[in-house]
């Protein structure tokens, strides 16, 4: 079994570094060192940061080897250096960063060959290696977001997503009752996904699909951004301060709307999930629609609960790893897919596209589950707990399958919308609606 895990780790490390290479080779050295938005790091910082984290955890901790470059640790410490300040740091050049990453990776592959994947919790079932794979994939999605913020087209290519295969409309009833939330058995699950615990959820309805561009245009056309009544006090203050009038990257196109995606402007496609909206916009839309955003527990129950067996699945479609027929993940396409494109990925209750396409805002503050224990370091999750951050679930078209599960939790400030974020709505079940 350990040899199979070892082979999987090696393949995941190679596949992930291949994606990093694509994202950083897509632009020239001058572009790599630029900061395209104060919200994002220069791409060259992300490039060396993933290597530095790999060195810290796998070379020094797991392998017990001497440092490769201990002189750069402070430069690539995300907590010591806010994103807006990173361009002023004496960062490694693109060539130096690539050479550094190659040196680190060569050592890591040697360590993988000789390390027992049992016993010590950090390495059991390859956890530390899986943590590093997920960390790099998360930064790959961050780099993809940075490419989206660039003002000119970028040399990234991918086929368009598949067309809709089924019609998906309306809402789905979710019965009241307990279900198992989180996980205690997923070997590469991160600390905020643990432990599994039972949650009692009242009956509710959830949209069968994410809110589409066409639906969101109706909100805009009805004065959604001008009418204070749909917004929370905090949301309205942000809408006014940031002068929000439409999703990020949208512009007027005659009587309609266009969006700019990776430097190319096209007409907004009505059947795609809306993307690049913040939590406040999502909540305002839901209120306008006479609904609300789901809680995190509601979202996960809709995604994982199987009413026939009574158990929680790894993914909406079952326990098997994501395949292209299940979900739009991993930068396989460079946009959300139309609603109805992935019927094979629907949950047992009939909820579609819960995994991939767009991160979905839920109306829950980020916190630890009952029995939470920080592992292997507090800075991954615990320092972010509290009301400043809202949870997002499900992953986007830019999220890799290695960093996305039915239990995976993302979080961000409620004003953020440069990320690939969308949403779906929910509502309470009225008396007698579910029998």
159 cis-preceded (ω within 30 degrees of 0): no
Q: pTM, whole model, 2 decimals?
A: 0.97
> Could you give the CA distance from residue 99 to residue 165 in angstroms, rounded to a whole number?
45
109 and 180 assigned to the same domain: no
- pLDDT confidence of residue 275: 98
Summarize pLDDT for 358-367 with one digit per residue, the tens.
999 999 999 9
pLDDT digits (tens), the chain, 435 positions: 588 999 999 999 999 999 999 999 999 999 999 999 999 999 999 999 999 999 999 999 999 999 999 999 999 999 999 999 999 999 999 999 999 999 999 999 999 999 999 889 999 999 999 999 999 999 999 999 999 998 788 889 999 999 999 999 999 999 999 999 999 999 999 999 999 999 999 999 999 999 999 999 999 999 999 999 999 999 999 999 999 999 999 999 999 999 999 999 999 999 999 999 999 999 999 999 999 999 999 999 999 999 999 999 999 999 999 999 999 999 999 999 999 999 999 999 999 999 999 999 999 999 999 999 999 999 999 999 999 999 999 999 999 999 999 999 999 999 999 999 999 999 999 888 875
14 and 142 assigned to the same domain: yes
140 and 214 assigned to the same domain: no
CATH number assigned to the domain comprising residue 97: 1.20.120.450
Which ranges in 26-64 belong to alpha helices (H)? Answer: 29-33, 43-54
213 and 117 assigned to the same domain: no
92 and 139 assigned to the same domain: yes
- pLDDT confidence of residue 302: 98
Which range marks the domain in which residue 141 is found? 2-149
145 and 290 assigned to the same domain: no
Cα 428 to Cα 64, 181, 208: the distances in Å are 54, 20, 15
DSSP string, 343-355: GGG--TT-----S
* Structural domain ending residue among the three candidates 92, 122, 149: 149
232 and 98 assigned to the same domain: no
73 and 211 assigned to the same domain: no
> Could you give the CA distance from residue 112 to residue 170 in angstroms, rounded to a whole number?
49
Taking Cα atoms as reference points, which of 152, 285, 143 lies closest to residue 214? 285
* Structural domain ending residue among the three candidates 131, 149, 167: 149
């Amino acid at each position: 079994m350990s040899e199979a895990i070892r082979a999987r780790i090696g393949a995941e490390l190679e596949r992930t570094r291949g994606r990093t290479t694509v994202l950083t080779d897509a632009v020239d050295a001058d572009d790599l060192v630029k900061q395209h938005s104060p919200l994002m790091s220069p791409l060259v910082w992300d490039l060396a940061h993933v290597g530095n984290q790999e060195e810290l955890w796998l070379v020094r901790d797991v392998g017990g080897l001497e440092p490769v470059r201990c002189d750069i640790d402070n430069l690539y410490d995300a907590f010591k250096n806010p994103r807006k300040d990173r361009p002023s740091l004496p960062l490694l050049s693109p060539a130096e960063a690539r050479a550094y990453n190659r040196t680190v990776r060569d050592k890591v592959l040697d360590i993988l060959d000789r390390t027992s994947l049992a016993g010590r919790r950090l390495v059991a079932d390859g956890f530390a290696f899986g943590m590093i794979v997920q960390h790099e994939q998360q930064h790959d999605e961050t780099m993809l977001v940075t490419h989206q913020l660039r003002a000119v087209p970028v040399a990234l290519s991918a086929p368009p997503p598949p067309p809709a295969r089924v019609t998906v409309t309306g809402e789905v009833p979710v019965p009241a009752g307990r279900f198992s939330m989180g996980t205690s058995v997923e070997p590469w699950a991160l600390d905020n996904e643990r432990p599994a615990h039972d949650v009692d959820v009242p009956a509710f309805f959830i949209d069968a699909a994410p809110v589409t561009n066409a639906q969101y245009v109706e909100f805009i056309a009805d004065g959604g951004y001008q009418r204070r009544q749909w917004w929370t006090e905090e949301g309205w203050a942000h809408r006014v301060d940031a002068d929000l009038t439409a999703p990020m990257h949208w512009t007027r196109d005659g009587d309609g709307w266009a969006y700019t995606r990776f430097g190319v402007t096209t007409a907004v496609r009505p059947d795609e999930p809306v993307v690049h909206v913040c939590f406040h916009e999502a909540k305002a839309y839901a209120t306008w629609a006479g609904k609300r955003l789901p809680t995190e527990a509601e979202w996960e129950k809709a995604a994982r609960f199987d009413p026939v067996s009574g158990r929680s699945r790894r993914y909406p479609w079952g326990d098997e790893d994501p395949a292209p027929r299940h979900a739009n993940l991993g930068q396989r396409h460079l946009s959300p897919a139309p609603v109805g494109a992935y019927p094979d990925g629907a949950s047992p209750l009939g909820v579609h596209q819960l995994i991939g396409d767009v991160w979905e805002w839920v109306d829950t503050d980020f916190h630890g589950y009952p029995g939470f224990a920080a592992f292997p370091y507090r800075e991954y999750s615990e320092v972010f707990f509290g009301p400043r951050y809202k949870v997002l679930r499900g992953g986007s078209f830019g999220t890799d399958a290695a960093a996305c599960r039915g239990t995976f939790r993302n979080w961000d400030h409620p004003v953020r919308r440069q990320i690939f974020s969308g949403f779906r709505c929910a509502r309470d079940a009225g008396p007698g609606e579910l029998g």
